[in-house]
Amino acid sequence: MEFCPKCKALMVSKNGVLKCTRCGYEKKLDKNVINTYKTTEKVGKREAVIFTKSEVKTMPTVKKECPKCGNNEAYWWLQQTRRADESETRFFRCTKCKYTWREYD
C-alpha cells in the first residue's frame, strides 16, 4: 500500500502504474516492484439483503421492567456520554411501547 506524496490519499495499482484515488497523481512502478502491488483475489457479486419488516430486532434484550408500561423486556446498549474516565451510561428501550430510559453507575 502506498500513499500519494501530494495529498496523502491511497494510491491504487493498475497496469504497472500507481494512481492516486483523489488527485490523480501517477507514479510508474519498476518491474521489480510490480508484483508486490498485484492483487490476485477475485471478488464475486455481493448478495443483497432485503428486510421486509420495518423493524428488525438486532439489539440484545434483557429482563427489565419498563417504568412506563410495566413490560418486562427491554433492548439495551452502552454509550459513553460523559468523560472517558467515567463509566458508560446504560440505555434501555422497552420492546413493547418503545419508551427509552437510562441508568448510571
**1-23: pLDDT as tens digits:** 678 888 888 888 777 788 888 89
Could you confirm whether 85 is annotated as catalytic?
yes
Tell me the DSSP string of 14-62: ETTEEEETTT--EEEPPHHHHHHH-------PPPP----SS----S-EE
Distance CA 58, CA 39 (A): 35
Cell of 95: 420492546
Point out the catalytic residue in the list 26, 86, 88, 103. 86
- Secondary-structure class of domain 61-103 per CATH: mainly beta
What does the mean pLDDT of the chain come to?
A: 79
pLDDT the model gives residue 29: 77
Coil, strand or helix: which one is 89? strand
Point out the catalytic residue in the list 85, 88, 103, 105. 85
Coil, strand or helix: which one is 98? coil
Q: Where are the domains positioned within the chain?
A: 2-37, 61-103
Q: Which residues are annotated as a binding site for Zn(2+)?
A: 4, 7, 20, 23, 66, 69, 94, 97
Which residues of the chain register pLDDT less than 70?
1, 31-57, 105
Distance CA 13, CA 28 (A): 9
Could you confirm whether 86 is annotated as catalytic?
yes
Distances (CA, A) of 8 to 12, 19, 36, 37: 12, 12, 20, 18
